[in-house]
Amino acid sequence: MSTSEFPLPDVGEGLTEAEIVTWHVKAGDAVAVNQVIVEIETAKSLVELPSPFAGTIEALLVSEGQTVEVGTPIVRVSDGDAPAGSPAVPAPAAAAADAESAAADVASTIDHDERGADGAPAAPAEDGSGAVLVGYGAKGHVASRRRRPAAGPQAVPSSPAPAAAPPAAAPAAPAMSTPAPAAAPAPSIPTPPARPAFVPAAQAAPVIAKPPIRKLAKDLGVDLQEVQPTGLAGEITRDDVIRQASQASVFRNIQTPEWPQVREDRIPVKGVRKAIAQAMVRSAFTAPHVGLFVDVDATRTMEFVKRLKASPDFAGIKVSPMLIMAKAMIWAVRRNPTVNSTWTDEEIIVHHFVNFGFAAATPRGLVVPNVKDAQSMSLRELAQAIEQLTLTARDGRLQPADMADGTITVTNIGVFGMDTGTPILNPGEVAIVALGTIKQKPWVVDGEVRPRFVTTLGASFDHRVVDGDVASRFLADVASVIEEPALLLD
């Protein structure tokens, strides 16, 4: 019998340590190659590690909650009692190659939950692709919204049923050459008013939600018309409302809690919080920040967003003012490329592509995923990419590659009810824009004071790279698109 030790791999570029969160196996368990054995937390994400060996768990070398450096052995596996049909334990050199291959796949894989119509996890697609190293198996396209259940027995047939005949006509039924069985109970059962057989596609579907769900939606600021229901009868559930809610509504306290019994909590500085602290200190005290602010009439943007939501082309896609903000920044970058740069001590690298980052508040802390090559995406593709990354971030399944190589960032503090702010640059970037809340305010239009939807944009720039004139032109360009989205047609 031989034994092999599995060292903690580098699941992302530059990873130095990780915390053991959950062991999925214990000493004495039989494991197969690619079976998930442990979940670790890196500086930015939760990652599931598969076993590169087949055999029996001899010992867990690291306890849950312990942080270890990359290369530290975390589990020992013996080749005895391997599960039936499992490959033989690889030689040390092959094992190391398998471990590196597993780490590479872990770093590049994003796990998304996919459920079937009955709410149960969908089975992995049997596409012959073989074993996978992370997640729950090979899956196809993940639908971001779920279809409303098809009309069942409630649908009204295209031709009137005999039961719908007036009660006075019922006695004539026995004289018919072919009696209609459904007409028999008609005299004793009142016929309900006929309902339309279908709802035209141009009309909005009726909202089905219980009063507590409607109250929750009101508290969270959610429009129920925008929520895709997942209930078995087509009703909107509590999870549907929370999923649709903005980040501010999702993570705020709906009720004020009681004071805890303990006098204080001590939270270890590790994982996401440690990474955030290091990045913000490095950015604030390395890059000389300069801030600019501008008030913007966003009435036409709000009208544009409303039209997009009603468009069949955007059915099932989350549309918000932040989407228009993203497109506005990409458009403004093309006119002012210096704001899309990276500073090094030797040179300034001006990027002719946009990896568009956005700050996302999650239960584990602030993360900044970015949409790769956003400049080549249509409005619809950009909306889908942002929504997919947001859901992945909230599930804690972002991979290091999702947050690497960003070129410019937006932070949507408006969802928290904030008018504006002075954001800190995402390390490695030279520009960041804060989108404030959009609300009605008095605004002068053609010499008259009228109620308009107004927002405030705040931006920070690295003054080593971006001069005041470039920063001003860039923010003015962003504001001009928010005021008139038709500029995006240019």
- β 356-358/408-411 pair status: parallel
Give the type of residue at 40: I
- Cα 130 to Cα 124, 161, 360, distances in angstroms: 11, 53, 34
Strand partners, 22: 39
C-beta of residue 473 within 8 angstroms of C-beta of residue 288: no
Q: Is 463 a catalytic residue?
A: yes
- β 46-50/360-362 pair status: unpaired
Active-site option among 24, 112, 351, 463: 463
**In Å, how far from its chain's centre is CA 32?**
32
Of 457, 405, 463, the residue nearest 431 (C-alpha): 463
Token readout for 336 is 């002012």
Token readout for 141 is 């396209």
For the annotated catalytic residues, the residue numbers are 463
